Amino acid sequence: MGNLRTKSKTMINKRLSKLSILTLCTVFALTGINTFEQLLSLNGREAGHYNRVLAQTSDEQLNRRVYQKASPAVVTVKTETGHGSGFVISQDGLIITNAHVIKPPPRSEEEAKTYKPAEFPQVVTVVFPDGRKFSADVMGFGKGGLDLAVLKIHGQQNLRTLALAAPGSAKVGDRVFALGTPLDAKFSDTFTQGNITRIDPSDGEIQHNAVIMGGNSGGPLLNSQGQVIGVNTSGIGELNTGMNFSIPVPQLQSFIVAARKKMFLQFLPYLHELKNHRFGQLHSMVK
C-alpha cells in the first residue's frame, strides 16, 4: 500500500514538472524569450538599470542635503556698483565675502590713475535667499592683499551659519559645490557642482570646475558635508572655462581670527591684478 502511494506521488510530481516546463515555454514564446540565456541577460540588464537608478538617487539625495544645509547661510552682497556673494559664519551676523566685492580693483591703467583704495563703502546690503534684507557694516579687509572682507549684521542672534572644514581635508578629485549669485542678483541661490582639479602646493589655493561666474565671488565652496573648504574668488577667461579658484580654509581661518580681534590693515589696491587675466575677468561681476 505504501509503495502504491509513493508511485502515485512520483507520477503526480512528474506531471507537474512537465506542466511547469510547458508553462515556461509558453511564457517564453509569448514574450519573445527563446532561451534561458536571454532570460538571464534580461535580468542582468534590469539589475544594471536598477543599480544606476539607485546611484542616481543617491547622488541627488547628497546634492539636496548639501544645498538644503548651506543655502540659508549664503547671501547676496549688494553695493552701489554691483553685487557679489557671501556666507554667514556666526549666529550674530559675521559674514565673509571677497574684498573686491566691496572695493573692486581698477579695470584699466587709466582707471588706476584715479583709483583711491582708501575709499570704500562703510555699509552694504545683504540679501538672504528667503528675501530678508539687512544692512551690514564693512568691518575690514585681509592683510597683504588677501582677497577677503568681513561684514557685520547687527541685532541678530540666531542666523544659520556655515562651518569650516578641517584644514587640509580637501583633496584633488573630491566633489565640491558652489553657492552664490552669478551675473545678476535675480540668480541668487544658484547651486552648481564639480570636482577639485588641482591644489596649489605653494599656498593651498583650490582649483575646481564647479561653474562660477561674475557675482559668485565671495561665495562658499563646499564639500559633501556642506562644510566650507574655500571662498570662490576668481576664474580664468571671460566665460567660465572650468578653471576656477578658491581661497583655502587655512587662510580663511587666520582671517576670521584676525576679524574677531579686529586686527585689520587699510585696504590695499589690487594693482598687481591688472596684468592678471584670470582675476580681471571674474571681477566683472560688479557691472
Enzyme catalytic residues? 100, 147, 217
Q: How far apart are CA 168 and CA 174, in angstroms?
A: 12
Answer for the pair 87, 127: CB distance below 8 angstroms, yes or no: no
For residue 211, which of 180, 169, 185, 184 has the smallest C-alpha distance? Answer: 180
End-to-end Cα, the chain, rounded Å: 101
Kindly report the number of other CB atoms within 10 A of residue 265's CB atom. 13
Q: 156-172: string of b/e by CB count within 10 Å (b at 16+)? A: eeebebbebbeeeebee
Amino acid type, 265: L
From residue 105, give the alpha-carbon distance in Å to each of 246, 255, 284: 18, 20, 10
Q: 79-88: string of b/e by CB count within 10 Å (b at 16+)? A: beebbbbbbb
